[in-house]
Amino acid sequence: MDASDLPFIMYNIPQTTGYGLSIDLFKKMADHEKVMGIKNSSLPVMDIERFKAIGGDDFIVYNGPDEQYIAGRLIGADGGIGGTYSVMPELFLKAESLVATGDFANARKIQNDISNVIFALFALRGNMYSGIKNILRLNGLAIGDVRGPMEPIYGEDFTTIVKIKEMIEQAVAKWAWVK
């Protein structure tokens, strides 16, 4: 943090680091003058609530797991940063709108549609992020593929990618008219 004058956002992602941010370490880091927030990708939604309660109203907490976006927002996340937002931004924007207007019944339903897409991406034989990049390619954004050691999609995954893109389009059409 001392190498830059920029504000700092912590990142808690125990699934890939093998280390869950303890409350004691969180408090120490949050006290640093440059720390303005955290992206929390741990699976217990309770972590978001704890980080927000300890950090205070001015401390930014972002939800990380896309499959629990609504839960994260309802328990105190200020927003989210997610890997699947780029292939279905309309769904996440609508989800945010539903939370903001208090339409929690529809928020749960759109989260289900979002999660169906995410679980379809998880089921690819190649890396989920390669699947995302290939959906973006189908949408006209040629941004390349994943780098090693992540595996690109292959074989039947290309057919599945087209089906996932169609799932997204159907969900977007379904939610376009919900106020």
Please give the positions annotated as active site.
11, 39
- Candidates 131, 151, 150, 133; CA nearest to 142 is 133
Burial 8-39 (b: 16+ CB within 10 A, else e): bebebbeeeeeeebeeeebeeebeeeebbbbb
Which runs of E-coded beta strand occur in the chain?
8-12, 35-40, 60-63, 79-80
In a 3-state reduction of DSSP, which class is residue 169? helix
Alpha helices per DSSP H over 6-81: 14-17, 23-30, 46-55, 69-75
Phi, psi at 149, each rounded to 5°? -85, 5
Task: Calculate ∠ Cα 106-96-119, nearest 5°.
Answer: 70
